[in-house]
Amino acid sequence: DIVLTQSPGTLSLSPGERGTLSCRASQSVGNYLAWYQQKPGQAPRLLIYDASSRATGIPDRFSGSGSGTDFTLTISTLEPEDFALYYCQQYGSSLTFGGGTKVEIK
């Protein structure tokens, strides 16, 4: 199975700052990678699919990049509502999720 490793585990930032989250795959997944946001007590919400395509209704401050084994989710300017957990998911070979990155208020 493909293992996804997300880093850092926790990202401490202030509103207005730029957030950069990493997801590394144990083998190539092409561009078959998605990103989700999850807030406490809520279901995950799709942000990005196919590595760089924004899902419906997602603000353009969220962007995804990468291919193969290295992927990045960038939040250009953190809004208060962006402090949450973020997961990557690959679908290049079966389906697996990364362990998550928590974006917390510094």
Partner 1 sequence: EVQLLESGGGLVQPGGSLRLSCAASGFSFSSYGMSWVRQAPGKGLEWVSAISGRGTSVTGGTTKYADSVKGRFTISRDNSKNTLYLQMNSLRVEDTALYYCARRGSSSWYGEFDHWGQGTLVTVSS
Binding site for partner 1 (CB under 8 A): 1, 32, 34, 36, 38, 43-46, 49-50, 55-56, 87, 89, 91, 94-100
Nearer CB in complex with partner 1: 5/77: 5
> Would you give the DSSP letter of residue 86?
E
Q: Report the chain's C-alpha Rg in angstroms.
A: 13
Compute the distance between CA of residue 14 and CA of residue 31 in angstroms, rounded to an integer: 30
Q: How far is the CB of 92 from partner 1 (least distance, A)?
A: 9
> Would you give the DSSP letter of residue 34?
E
Q: How far is the CB of 19 from partner 1 (least distance, A)?
A: 19
